[in-house]
Amino acid sequence: MISLNALDRGTGVRRWFLNRAGGLLAAAAIASETVMALFTRIRFSEGRVDGGRVVMRHGVPLAEISGNPAALGTSAGTLFRRQLGPLLRLMGMHPPLIVSILTGRMVPLAGSIPAHYRAELAAMAAAAGVSEDTLVKANLVVDTCCSALVRAGDHTSGRPLVVARNMDFYPAAILGPASVVAVVRPLGRHAFASITWPGYAGVISGLNAPGVCACILLNYGSHGIRPGTPIGFRAREVLENADDLESAARCFAASPVASSHYLLLADDHGAAVVWEDQAGFHRHDLHEGWLACSNGVRDATTPLAIDDRGRCLRGLSASAPEALDRNEPWMRRTMTASYLRGINTQAMLFIPAQRRLQLAVGTGSRAAALSPWLEVDLAQVLAGSPLAEAPVRMWDPVAQPAHHYTD
């Protein structure tokens, strides 16, 4: 199902066939994850431990942990002890994880996790009473079939740069409601917010204290693994160390990454998609004020996404409003055009200059992009204030969804 979404659907019979196949697979995903959700119920409640806390806001858990690797892991494992066991059992059935274990790919990947993150995972497993080996393997699953659109800021009008992003990940019926906004304050490094799940120590989508955003998107144009840091932990290294877009790109390219997946980077002044493959390091920056990214190949001569979803998002840019108060609602609407039916787990907006996050979570049958949005102002929290004091507000679902890329 996942790789089908990286295909160019074309026109005529080819498009008809792939749309029907995609519809059947989406229906199968919804049916299977709905059944799994009956046996994997994830419930959250507020709690506090030394170095950590969870507060609930409109049904979404907001967590904060701080300290050295052992303290981070212990706090996370204690706060999410009830949720970790069921989620790990679920991830043990995840097809990409099973394939990676059977093919032996997990062993070199696990050995490439930086030592301080392994220490954090060991402490988390001990505190939660789960298998460290199982937890480590679950942290190596990166199966995010995503799409994203960045609109450059306009400093004359005061319009900030905005990153809009769909995170499509099976099974959305479980992982959507299990989403956590976690603020991590590692000792001696930048604080960052990660949109994540209990037990995940890497970063799939996040924003740090200086205002650098990082989001992973699978790259189906370049398969395989090689010696290097797993990309989820490279994304975390970026957020812990980068002060701006340029230092983020340097951090990404500083040493080998174990895959060729895309990492979308942004700050208030710019954005870039970066990745590594056998030919080396690649970078595509904003083009005429826009940057789109999905899971398909990118044009070899221009900085453009040329797959179905990439072209769809680029096409929407022509209708972008200039009015400042319409910018964020319009960016939320773009995500209704590119989400993957059946597995749209999260949809989000990052406004790096203001350290704001807007998050919607899906339920499998209901796409995240079509759901209500929770906004969390992280500016003071990333500067050290308690997460419980973060201003929050709700936004209604998009009233008039955009034309979906498969229609």
Mean pLDDT of all residues in 66-95: 90
CA distances from 400 to 147, 298, 315 (A): 20, 30, 17
β-pair type (60-67, 356-361): unpaired
In the prediction, which pLDDT does 1 show?
40
Residue 225: inside a domain, yes or no?
yes
Examine residue 387 and state whether it is found in any structural domain, yes or no: yes
Residue 381: which of 164, 79, 62, 161 has the closest Cα? 62
When pLDDT is averaged across residues 349-377 and rounded to a whole number, the result is 97
What is the C-alpha separation between 105 and 224, in angstroms, rounded? 10
The domain total for the chain is 1
Select the more confidently predicted residue: 197 or 24: 197
Within a domain: residue 237? yes
What is the reported pTM?
Answer: 0.93
Average pLDDT, the chain: 91
CATH number at residue 31: 3.60.60.10
**Model pLDDT for residues 36-76, shown as the tens digit of each residue:** 766 677 899 999 999 999 999 999 999 999 999 999 999 99
Local confidence band at 2 (pLDDT 50, 70, 90 cut-offs): very low
Note the pLDDT of residue 71: 98
What's the one-letter identity of residue 162?
Answer: V
Residue 317 located in a structural domain: yes
Q: Is residue 294 part of a domain?
A: yes
Q: Would 91 be classed as within a structural domain?
A: no
pLDDT at 7: 56
Percent of the chain with pLDDT strictly greater than 90: 71
CA separation, residue 11 to residues 7, 15, 309 (Å): 12, 5, 14
SS3 of residue 141 by DSSP: coil
**77 falls within a domain:** no
Tokens of 220: 């189906």
**313 lies in which domain range?**
3-43+142-184+191-395
Counted residue by residue, the chain has a size of 407
What distances in angstroms separate CA 212 from CA 40, 200, 239, 242, 406, one per listed residue?
34, 20, 7, 7, 32
Structure tokens at 36: 């799994």
User: Is the peptide bond between 61 and the residue preceding it cis, with omega within 30 degrees of 0?
Assistant: no
CA distance 170 to 176: 9
Q: Enter the DSSP assignment of 257.
A: B
Q: What is the per-residue pLDDT across 161-191, written as a single tens digit (0 to 9) for each?
A: 999 999 998 888 889 999 999 999 999 999 9
